[in-house]
Amino acid sequence: MSEHEKKDEFFKPVGELVEETAGSKVPNNIQQDPNNPNVLYYSEPKDGETPVTTIDSLCMQCHNPHGKTNLLMTTIPHFKKIIIMSFECDKCGFKNNEIQTGNDLQVKGVLFNMDINKLLNNGDNYTKDLADFMNRQIVKSDYGVVSFQFIPLDQDKNEIVQFEIPKGKAQLSTVEGLMMDTILDLQALQHLRKYQNVEAYEKINELIHCAYSLISKNNNGKLEEIVDGQEQKIHESIEFDSEKVKKYSESINEIKVTIRDPSGNSFLEFKPFEEGSLISYNKKEFFRDDEDNFHIGLITKDQLEEKKVLNQVVDKYLPKIDEKSKDAASDKLVDEFVNDIETFVDSCPSCLDKHCITNMKPLNIPHFKQVLIMSTKCDKCGYKSNEVKTGGGISQYGKKTILTITEETIEEDLKRDLLKSETCKLFIPQIHLDIQEGTLGGRFTTLEGILKQVYDELYERIFQESYDSMEQETRDNWLSFFGNLSNVMSGKLPVGQDKIEVILIDPLANSYLQNIYAPDEDPNIVYKSFKRTKSENEDLGILELLRQEGLSEGEDEEVEVN
């Protein structure tokens, strides 16, 4: 058995560990190396022994050397391997618990965004969607940063309330759980801030009332926190101003949650898209920059400073090229290698080896534009990736493409070429498929190919790993979703449907769905152009460019262009 396989034996699912623990005795599975007392090693528990390990630890409150730390190595869906630690001191009563990831660093960092809006509309889905939003599972690793934004309907009268949970302690909780923890943590020192820093006290007091109003709204005004097995109401330990709670409850219209983790080991639970849902969700992966590599320990502070100095020197001595010369040079360059594959060497994003090879090939798509297909491979660590980037300038308008598929056309439609850019959203409402921008990255494949990638990603990485821990309703929704998706991939329409619609929405108009009737119009495809919103321009990083050019910063809502 390989070393990797042996290590996996230590991280068993929680269900198996519970069964092993029941009625078993407690061993000490962490032993000293007889040749070196400073080295500890882990031994797998014997038959009849619990996998929980207890070791003596120094209490950081009273410095008692005989505090007890319990360790449990296990696996949790989506978070893979974790080490659960619990400390208790019999002398002073101090208690603490935390988790640490047992995973390797991922090749890319992750960025999760989830928001729920129209909270003040009180529609049919309001209660269900708010509960769903608040109960989404969150895994925050040591390097993850979680941000919350509470956005009022009228931002002229009310300010946006926001807070951030910095990197540090790893946590396994829910959206509501993190908000509740924040209230308790901030309230702990409010009695000191009230006299030492009045301004900070007032701002934190507003934040506590805002978060409390939304948690209370989700619990019909009843909020309870479990402390040492006893129910303790938060509003009994904190003096809440009912007028402030009411103000935020009646003004907050949107909640946004963002998780950014350069290690790639954080997670925000995903559930199948439901038509009419107030919740939007997306996940993006990104390559770490030098600052990220420093913060997760891949490079030292000296190496970071060296890279900064080198970048400054390179920027200083690069030749300045005006826009016209730059465009002419780019056109000439494209003409020179349009039929060739360009190869260049750069650092591997996974192991940072400086001999990672990237191949790049330009490709002209008829009736669309030129794209760049890039393939990266590292011979040292085996890292591989493929990406597609569209060329050309920024489109004035966004583009919405709607393909109507019927039973007669589905086989041919599945063979259509599809270019999905990183900024494109893909929907099939009839089977509740919702792919947000950033998901899957840039892809150039067929419609059938993109559906297969979605199936593999969701089934293998989410559904299979969390099947046993799912609620029955959630499990049934997933099974229904996969059944409908499988039918479409095999050339069948979902039961009870006479047609389905594939909708591509790209604010940069960089996505493409093949017109099989070209150069004539495709009778099954409808194209719509729309003006981007200010929020979309900001997310795309072009808001400042529009300001410099004196152009419109965007609309409040997407507006179709005739």
Cα atoms in the 13 Å half-sphere on the side-chain side of 376? 18
pLDDT of residue 26: 42
Look at residue 30 and tell me whether its pLDDT is greater than 70.
Answer: no
The dihedral built from the CA positions of residue 218, 220, 226 and 229, taken in this order, carries a sign that is negative
Residue 124 burial (C-beta neighbours within 10 Å; 0-12, 13-18, 19+)? exposed
pLDDT score at 103 = 67
Above 80 in pLDDT, residue 387? no
Instruction: Please count the structural domains in the chain.
Output: 4
DSSP assignments along 363-391, one per residue:
EEPTTS-EEEEEEEE-TTT--EEEEEEE-
Q: Compute the distance between CA of residue 515 and CA of residue 403 in angstroms, rounded to an integer.
A: 10
CATH number of the domain enclosing 175: 2.60.120.1040
Residue 369, number of CB atoms within 10 A of its CB: 15
Q: Residue 458's pLDDT band (boundaries 50, 70, 90)?
A: confident
For the beta sheet containing 559-561, the strands, ordered from the edge strand earlier in sequence to the opposite edge, are 433-435, 425-428, 499-506, 398-406, 525-531, 559-561
- Asked if pLDDT for residue 492 goes beyond 80, the answer is yes
Residue where one domain finishes, among candidates 70, 101, 132: 101
Whether 385 and 417 map to the same domain: the answer is no
Q: Are residues 206 and 91 in the same domain?
A: no
402, pLDDT greater than 90: yes
* Percent of the chain's residues with pLDDT above 90: 11
Residue 557 domain-assigned?
A: no
pLDDT range class, residue 475, cuts 50, 70, 90: confident
Residues 424 and 354 grouped into a single domain: no
Which among 99, 116, 122, 245 has a CA at the least distance from the CA of 183? 245
Q: Answer yes or no: do 403 and 461 share one domain.
A: yes
Banded model confidence at residue 35, pLDDT cuts 50, 70, 90: low
The pLDDT of residue 10: 53
- Has residue 16 been placed in a domain? yes
**pLDDT value at position 320?**
53
Query: What pTM value is reported for the model?
Result: 0.61
Decide: 213 and 248 in contact? Cβ < 8 Å: yes
pLDDT in tens, 62-95: 888 889 888 877 766 555 677 778 888 988 888 8
Question: Lowest-pLDDT range, 353-362, 434-443, 465-474, 504-513?
Answer: 465-474
First-residue to last-residue Cα distance in the chain: 65
Q: What is the pLDDT of residue 434?
A: 84
**Same domain, yes or no: 54 and 124:** no
Using one digit for the tens of pLDDT, what is the confidence trace for 498-546? 899 999 999 888 888 988 888 888 999 999 998 888 888 887 777 777 7
Q: How confident is the model at residue 328 (pLDDT cuts 50, 70, 90)?
A: very low
Quick one: pLDDT at residue 414? 92
**Residues contacting residue 145 through CB under 8 Å, at least 6 positions apart:** 164, 165, 166, 167, 259, 260, 261
**Domain finish residue from 101, 131, 159:** 101
Stretch 419-440: mean pLDDT: 84
Residue 148 has pLDDT above 90, yes or no: yes
More confident residue, 219 or 278: 278
Residue 362: give its domain's CATH number: 2.20.25.420
**Spatial separation of the C-alpha atoms in residues 548 and 94, rounded to whole Å:** 57
Examine the domain organization and report whether 248 and 121 are in the same domain. yes
Q: Taking the mean position of all CA atoms in its chain, how far away is CA 517? A: 39
Query: pLDDT: is 250 or 74 the higher one?
Result: 250
Which range among 166-170, 262-266, 328-332 has the greatest average pLDDT?
262-266
User: Per the domain annotation, does 130 fall within a domain?
Assistant: yes
Q: What sign for the dihedral angle of Cα 371, 377, 378, 383?
A: positive
What is the structure's pLDDT at 12? Answer: 55
308 in a domain, yes or no?
Answer: no
How far, in Å, CA of 423 to CA of 506, rounded?
A: 6
DSSP letter string, 219-255: TTT--EEEETTEEEEHHHHS---HHHHHHHHTTEEEE
Residues 135 and 80 in one domain: no
Residue 405 has a pLDDT of: 93
pLDDT at 16: 55
Please state the separation of Cα 459 from the chain's center in Å. Answer: 17
Q: What is the pLDDT of residue 72?
A: 79
Instruction: Provide mean pLDDT across the span 286-295.
Output: 86
Q: How far, in Å, CA of 64 to CA of 58, rounded?
A: 6
Q: Domain containing 265: what range?
A: 109-287
Strands 370-377 and 384-390 come out as: antiparallel
Query: Letter for the amino acid at 310?
Result: L
Alpha-carbon gap, residue 195 to 191, rounded angstroms: 7
Residue 396 has pLDDT above 60, yes or no: yes
Q: How many CA atoms lie within 13 A of 496 on its CB side?
A: 3
Does residue 544 sit within a domain? no
234 with 117, same domain? Answer: yes
Q: Tell me if 25 is assigned to some domain.
A: yes
**Residue 188: which pLDDT band, with cuts at 50, 70 and 90?**
confident
- In terms of domains, do 122 and 165 share one? yes
pLDDT (tens digit per residue) in 410-425 = 999 999 988 888 888 8
Amino acid identity of residue 113, one-letter, is N
Are 35 and 74 in a shared domain? Answer: yes
By DSSP bridging, strand 12-13 and strand 67-76 are parallel
Q: The sheet that has 161-165: what strands, in order across it? A: 161-165, 145-152, 252-261, 109-116, 279-286
- Last residue of some domain: 52, 73, 101? 101
pLDDT surpasses 60 at 463 = yes
The SS3 assignment for 105 reads coil
SS3 of 519, please? coil
pLDDT classification of 124: cutoffs 50, 70, 90? low
Q: What is the pLDDT of residue 256?
A: 93
Within this chain, do residues 114 and 259 fall inside the same structural domain, yes or no? yes
- Answer for the pair 546, 552: CB distance below 8 angstroms, yes or no: yes
* Per-chain mean pLDDT for the chain: 77
Question: How many Å apart are CA 23 and CA 359, to the nearest integer?
Answer: 58
Task: Provide the pLDDT confidence category of residue 226 given band limits of 50, 70 and 90.
Answer: very low
Q: Residue 548: in which H helix or E strand, if any?
A: helix 543-548
What single string gives the DSSP state of each residue in 172-229?
Answer: EEEHHHHHHHHHHHHHTTHHHHHHH-HHHHHHHHHHHHHHHHHHHHHTTT--EEEETT
In this prediction, residues 212-217 reach a mean pLDDT of: 84
Residue 13 lies in a domain: yes
Token pair of 376 as six digits: 């990266």
Buried b (16+ CB within 10 A) or exposed e, 186-212: bbeeeeebeeeeeeebeebbbbbbbbb
- Asked whether the predicted pLDDT for residue 444 surpasses 90, the reply is no
Residue 314 resides in a domain:
no
Same domain, 61 and 147: no
DSSP 469: T
